[in-house]
Amino acid sequence: MCCLMLLDPNTKCKQPFITFIYLFLSLFLTSSITACSNGNCQVMEACSSATDCAPTLYCSNCPSLGRKQFLCTRGQATFPTSFVNGLPFNKYSWIMTHNSFSILDAPSLPGVQRLTFYNQEDTVTNQLRNGVRGLMLDMYDFENDIWLCHSFQGQCFNFNAFQPAINTLKEVEAFLAENPTEIVTIVIEDFVHTPKGLINLFVNAGLDKYWFPVSDMPKAGEDWPTITEMVQSNRRLLVFTSDASKEAEEGIAYQWRYMVENEFGDDGIRKGSCPHRKESKPLNSRSASLFLQNYFPTYPVEADSCKEHSAPLVDMVNTCYRAAGNVFPNFIAVNYYMRSDGGGVFDIVDKINGRVLCGCNTVTACQVGAPFGSCNNITVPTTSPVTNTAGSFTGYVQFSRSASAVHSPNCALLMTIILYIFKLWLSRGASSITIAVYHMSFF
């Protein structure tokens, strides 16, 4: 047959074009048949669209790692209490989003060009639905209200304000109401000076009914109540503030009495080192029973997050584990939490929960109701994660449609210079400033 003998110099083919088409179609059809599709592709399998990947996965690549091929990537967490329930809250590990409110494409104030860094890609509601259980929120007095701002020097400006904090807290309230077995932790960088302003904010958002009272929090490193006890009593919201005075005045827990935390920014991701944050007790202190590990660079770059959430994250978790006296973090705080080279922070948390809760290599290997060390034979990762059958994880991957130029390294450098000059200007006597940018683009 002519088309099978083209490499034979003694063979004459009258239809070379037809032969080429035949071979091309053969290769195309063969690859189409062997490739997975229609929601059957698992973690790290090749994909061409989101519909190729199994539920809880999405299709992405990671050019910063040199991986241009699109593969199915995890986008949701595993619910650990589906496998091991009834242990103290401080035995579990959860994903926390850094600057949870600082979201790409979030609308700015009318007539104002926002000038700040972004840290997340989807709404707080979607973060919670995808398995995030810790939120970092920066709260400021602004516009005679309390706002979420990504600012500096304790002041919120119109160019780095996002929205009134009550809007986000109402998202949390709606999630807790819809998911009666879920627990959410909020850590506040607190610049609110309005008397009783913070506690009234939570009451007005309807969150007081879920409030875990300071009086019942362990003060000397003891275990927290069990997950079961917290759910049964409906004390499913833990709130911590960076302002020590708020504990006595408003009943909001002062963060550093109850948790230890490593340094944030570049100092918190330096290979081989895991220093504690200056406000925190040493990581190996046993007088606080919660451990928050920061894992994000000083200047977030969206495209680099998939690389950051690969091997370097594993290394830093191990480094901080040793620095904390062989204790794993209860929260891992990250930017762009869904971006990774495959499993990312989702796999890390699964492995931590597996090790701590049941002695297995991942939480999905834990045998429900079995003694510690009873493990199913599961390779990590080969399939999409097992999700809570109660439907707590009903989120979806919700990336920004377009990346702003502010996320590129060059623009990050420019923004750093601008903010540095602005800080110098403020330090020379300016007490307040309002900047409105009309019909102007910085980039």
Report the DSSP pairing between strands 94-97 and 132-142.
parallel
Residues 6+ apart with CB under 8 A from 24: none
Q: Is the dihedral of CA 11, 12, 16, 19 positive or negative?
A: negative
Kindly report the backbone phi and psi dihedral angles of residue 250, in degrees, each rounded to the nearest multiple of 5, phi listed first: -130, 0
Name the DSSP letter for residue 152: B
76-365 carries CATH number 3.40.50.300: no
Domain coordinates of the chain in residue numbers?
A: 14-73, 76-365
Contact 319, 333 (CB under 8 A): no
- CB-based contacts of 28: which residues, under 8 Å, 6+ apart? none
**Nearest CA among 391, 221, 360 for reference residue 289:** 221
- Using a 10 angstrom Cβ sphere, with 0-12 exposed, 13-18 middle and 19 or more buried, the burial of residue 125 is middle
* Those residues with Cβ within 8 angstroms of residue 27's Cβ, 6 or more apart along the chain or in another chain: none
Question: Would you tell me how many other CB atoms lie within 10 Å of the CB of residue 277?
Answer: 18
* CA-CA-CA-CA torsion sign (403, 407, 410, 416): positive
Instruction: Give tens-digit pLDDT for 138-170.
Output: 999 999 999 999 998 899 999 999 999 999 999
Which residues is 58 bridged to in the sheet? 73
Tallying the residues shown for the chain, one arrives at 443
pLDDT at 55: 92
Quote the pLDDT of residue 48.
93
d(CA 406, CA 108) in angstroms, rounded, equals 14
**Per-block mean pLDDT, blocks of 10 residues, the chain (443 long):** 36 47 45 67 93 94 94 96 96 99 95 95 97 99 98 94 99 99 98 98 99 97 98 99 98 98 97 98 98 98 96 97 98 98 96 98 96 87 43 44 35 52 55 34 26
Helix, strand, or coil here: 43? Answer: coil
| 13 CB-contact burial (10 Å; exposed 0-12 / middle 13-18 / buried 19+) | middle
Q: For the chain, give me the number of helices (H) and strands (E)?
A: 11, 12
